[in-house]
């Protein structure tokens, strides 16, 4: 039967089932023909150029998607401001050409605002405008070009990974069992080699080894063949190709030697190559799983229902169905999944999972409950202040899920070297085979070529960076530090300058009264009542100070708050006013005898200055030690603030910062950052306010406090969950230590290959020892990466 190649999927099929087109193209099915015509009509023929020699699965007939798709996928759709977003797993992606096509189709859909496909897990994140396009239309367009999509489900994904691990363990057990038995047989073989063995006994032992080595090669080693096939299709030689090639050549030669009864068999080497490399892969996966456990643990925190109080009944509902203002009941042992403020009750909470703080926190009415907190005792009812998507824990999980997608530059370089290195090793193996074939015959030449292929496996080089960065992400989370992208670890390690915003970063951001002066016998209860009538931070600071000194509220009349100026009222018919010096001047109050460079709050009674408060923004306890340690690490420090020169000078003198700029507006902060960069500085900008957003976006690394404004969080590269400057130090230390370990891994991998490959080409290494050596090199890289965790665990003790 004559074979044809499908013009779409590139697979061969019988000519009798061919579906032809007027332009001469041939298709294996109507699905492929439809997809081909859709791509042509939309100007996407470039897909076939990108596809190259890769093949696809035959396209299925398009499904119909109606409005019910929105209801079916409802639990997986999240709100992103005015828009909707969803994470989908795209089926039947075979190569980068498929990813290119999927993204082209998505971006070509009117109303789709963002779309990106992760090549490692085929997961697509799509943001779209519901007013312009429905989810059913997006799914229909994907399906029309041969790709089916289903929602990414964390629980389902965990079940899938669990099944995959069980299969992995089964393959490992088969490999170990068969290899151990082959080794026992090999002992008899080697004994007979020296003392003599009958030919028929030798043939039986050879056949027994053949029976045991076959499942090891094709079942345990199946993943290597799949990876090798993918590498060949993508023209990117990798570790799998080298292992599969080496083991297959040894197996084929051994089968030939067994049936022809000529020469020695190497089934033991085949089994050991596959098993030892598989054990190395097992340890690699185990280490990655351990490194990712702390990150994955956050996903599990989001699971479960929320107890919502409605019409006197407590209902268990999905957290995504909770609305702002809903009343949530939290009992002892339960974790908060939604942000809010307590309206009834009080309890102690465990915040260790989100901030690293081990001491319980006592919260009562009016206090904020952040998602992730665990109620230790008591019972509280709190009012939701955000929906599930915008709550603290959900935002942190979203950041971490995308953290490892963008690879560091050093990892991209290592992957390029690894790919070219594999091709070079195959060439070296061919040269080795040719040389030894001319010199000593086919069998010896083949064995030495196999040794070269196996010993030079580039997996240590490929593992050098990703394992290190994955461990660092997990360690960072335990230290209350989130790197939003793995690439930021390398960038932070290379920075040489730290620029601080003052308020909320070096200081607490809360104004405290440092000096109180009375110019008359005005009742402090009256001042307390007046200050309490305003929500301005200065008024709040004054009211808090007076309340701490026993002041009580009195009834005022005609209370008026004047934005950005102050507050006025009447008490027993007398006129009161309090606020800034500009407000006093407007009212004609003489304050010339009480001028101050500090933030001041003036109180006037019947047009005469009656009292004055001086306030200061209290510095954080760890600010001075943080600046000192950053300097000891060789980093330059600067401070930017909107405060006046005298206040800024007082702060920098207290902290040991010599360079600062006062009275900074947002655009001036940005210009300051640009000027430093023009002089070659690599900048870490630390801020938490909306006015820091522009400067944060310009810095190489933007660090934001976890309690910062949403705009700043969006621009940040590193988030400090506990708002502590100690966490900033930890972030820098983790980044620098991790980059050092990555460089060690790369140096070790290159030195290992420079040493072992020449030994193998000269005939000093047999396949068995090559497999052992290669496995140990991979394990060494993994263990070295795990010292990142050990280093910072040790610092905790």
Cβ atoms within 10 A of the Cβ of 403, count? 22
Residue 350: predicted pLDDT = 77
Residue 356 binned pLDDT confidence (cut-offs 50, 70, 90): very low
Residue 54: predicted pLDDT = 63
Cβ atoms within 10 A of the Cβ of 782, count? 23
Residue 165 binned pLDDT confidence (cut-offs 50, 70, 90): confident
Q: Are 98 and 155 in contact (CB under 8 A)?
A: no
Residue 679: predicted pLDDT = 92
242-256, 515-529, 633-647, 707-721: which has the minimum mean pLDDT? Answer: 707-721
The more confident residue out of 398 and 520 is 520
Residue 696 binned pLDDT confidence (cut-offs 50, 70, 90): confident
Q: Are 674 and 695 in contact (CB under 8 A)?
A: no
Q: Are 476 and 658 in contact (CB under 8 A)?
A: no
178-192, 272-286, 514-528, 678-692: which has the minimum mean pLDDT? Answer: 272-286
In this predicted model, what pLDDT tens digit does every residue of 367-399 receive, in sequence order?
A: 888 888 888 877 899 999 988 877 877 776 666
- The fold for domain 508-618 equals Calcium-transporting ATPase, cytoplasmic domain N (3.40.1110)
**Unique residue bearing structure tokens 């030919």:** 199
Cβ atoms within 10 A of the Cβ of 131, count? 9
Residue 233 binned pLDDT confidence (cut-offs 50, 70, 90): low
pTM (predicted TM-score): 0.60
- Burial class of 595 by CB neighbour count within 10 A (0 to 12, 13 to 18, 19+): exposed
Question: Where exactly are the structural domains of the chain?
Answer: 3-51, 68-152, 158-286, 306-401, 508-618
Residue 680: predicted pLDDT = 92
Rounded average pLDDT over 404-426: 62
108: Cβ contacts below 8 Å, ≥ 6 apart: 42
Q: Are 596 and 585 in contact (CB under 8 A)?
A: no
Residue 212: predicted pLDDT = 95
Q: Are 396 and 483 in contact (CB under 8 A)?
A: no
**What is the chain's length?**
797
- What is 3-51's CATH number, 1.10.10, 1.10.3470, 2.60.40, 2.30.170? 2.30.170
Pair type for strands 83-90 and 149-151: antiparallel
- What is 306-401's CATH number, 1.10.10.10, 2.70.150.10, 3.40.50.2300, 3.20.20.150? 2.70.150.10
The more confident residue out of 491 and 393 is 491
3-class SS of residue 405: coil
Residue 406 binned pLDDT confidence (cut-offs 50, 70, 90): very low
- What is 68-152's CATH number, 1.10.3470.10, 2.40.30.30, 3.40.50.620, 3.30.70.100? 3.30.70.100
């Amino acid at each position: 039967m004559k074979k044809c190649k499908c013009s779409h999927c590139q697979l061969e099929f019988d000519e009798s089932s061919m579906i032809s087109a007027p332009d001469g193209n041939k298709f294996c099915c109507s699905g492929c023909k439809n997809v081909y015509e859709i791509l042509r009509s939309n100007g996407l023929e470039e897909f076939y150029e990108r596809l190259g020699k890769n093949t696809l699965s035959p396209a299925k007939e398009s499904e119909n998607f109606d409005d019910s798709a929105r209801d079916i996928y409802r639990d997986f759709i999240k709100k992103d401001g005015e828009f909707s977003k969803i994470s989908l797993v795209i089926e039947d992606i075979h190569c980068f050409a498929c990813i290119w096509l999927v993204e082209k189709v998505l971006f070509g859909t009117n109303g789709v605002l963002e779309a990106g496909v992760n090549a490692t897990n085929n997961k697509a994140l799509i943001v779209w405008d519901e007013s312009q396009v429905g989810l059913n239309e997006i799914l229909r367009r994907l399906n029309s070009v041969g790709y089916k999509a289903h929602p990414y489900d964390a629980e389902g994904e965990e079940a899938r990974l669990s099944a995959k691990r069980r299969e992995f363990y089964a393959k490992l057990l088969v490999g170990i069992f068969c290899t151990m038995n082959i080794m026992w047989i090999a002992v008899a073989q080697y004994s007979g080699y020296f003392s003599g063995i009958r030919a028929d006994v030798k043939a039986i032992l050879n056949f027994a080894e053949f029976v045991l080595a076959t499942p090891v090669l094709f079942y345990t080693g199946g993943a290597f063949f799949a990876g090798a096939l993918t590498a060949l299709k993508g023209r990117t030689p990798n570790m799998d190709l080298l292992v599969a090639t080496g083991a297959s050549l040894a197996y084929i030669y051994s089968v030939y030697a067994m049936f022809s009864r000529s020469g020695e068999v190497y089934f033991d080497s085949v089994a050991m190559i596959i098993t030892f490399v598989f054990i190395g892969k097992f340890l690699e996966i185990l280490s990655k799983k351990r490194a990712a456990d702390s990150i994955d643990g956050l996903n599990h925190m989001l699971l479960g229902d929320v107890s919502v109080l409605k019409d006197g009944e407590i209902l268990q509902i999905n957290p995504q169905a909770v609305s702002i203002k809903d009343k949530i009941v939290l009992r002892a042992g339960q974790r908060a999944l939604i942000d809010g403020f307590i309206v009834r009750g009080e309890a102690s909470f465990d915040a260790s999972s989100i901030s690293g703080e081990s001491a319980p926190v006592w919260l009562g009415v009016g206090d904020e409950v952040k998602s992730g907190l665990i109620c230790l005792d008591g019972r509280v009812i709190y009012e939701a202040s955000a929906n599930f998507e915008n709550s603290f824990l959900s935002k942190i999980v979203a950041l971490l899920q995308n953290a490892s997608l963008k690879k560091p530059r050093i990892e991209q370089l290592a992957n390029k070297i690894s790919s070219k290195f594999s091709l070079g090793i195959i060439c070296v193996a061919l040269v080795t085979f040719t040389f030894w074939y001319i010199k000593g015959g086919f069998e010896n030449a083949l064995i030495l070529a196999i040794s070269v292929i196996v010993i030079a496996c580039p997996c240590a080089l490929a593992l050098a960076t990703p394992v290190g960065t994955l461990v660092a992400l997990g360690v960072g989370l335990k230290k209350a530090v989130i790197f939003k992208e793995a690439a930021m670890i390398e960038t932070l390690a290379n920075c040489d300058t730290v620029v601080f915003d003052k308020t909320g970063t070096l200081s607490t951001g809360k104004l405290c009264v440092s000096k109180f002066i009375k110019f008359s016998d005005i009742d402090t209860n009256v001042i307390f009542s007046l200050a309490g009538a305003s929500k301005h931070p200065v008024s709040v600071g004054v009211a808090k100070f007076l309340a701490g000194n026993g002041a009580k509220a009195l009834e005022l009349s005609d209370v008026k708050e004047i934005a950005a100026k102050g507050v006025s009222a009447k008490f027993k018919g007398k006129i009161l006013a309090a606020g800034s010096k500009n407000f006093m001047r407007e009212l004609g109050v003489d304050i010339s005898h009480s001028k101050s460079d500090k933030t001041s709050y003036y109180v006037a009674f019947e047009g005469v200055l009656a009292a004055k408060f001086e306030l200061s923004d209290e510095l954080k306890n760890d600010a001075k030690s943080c600046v000192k340690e950053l300097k000891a690490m060789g980093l330059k420090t600067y401070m930017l603030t909107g405060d006046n020169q005298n206040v800024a000078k007082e702060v920098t003198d207290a902290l040991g910062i010599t360079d600062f700029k006062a009275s900074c507006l947002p655009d001036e902060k940005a210009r300051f950052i640009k000027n430093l960069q023009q002089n070659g500085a690599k900048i870490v900008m630390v801020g938490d306010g909306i006015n820091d957003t522009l400067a944060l976006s310009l810095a190489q690394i933007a660090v934001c406090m976890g309690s910062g404004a949403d705009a700043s969080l969006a621009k940040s590269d590193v988030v400090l969950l506990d708002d502590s400057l100690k966490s900033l130090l930890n972030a820098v230390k983790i980044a620098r230590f991790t980059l050092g370990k990555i460089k060690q891994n790369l140096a070790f991998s290159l030195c290992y290959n420079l040493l072992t490959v020449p030994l193998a080409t000269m005939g000093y290494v047999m396949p068995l020892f090559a497999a052992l050596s290669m496995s140990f090199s991979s394990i060494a890289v993994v263990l070295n990466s795990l010292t990142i965790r050990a280093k910072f665990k040790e610092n905790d003790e």
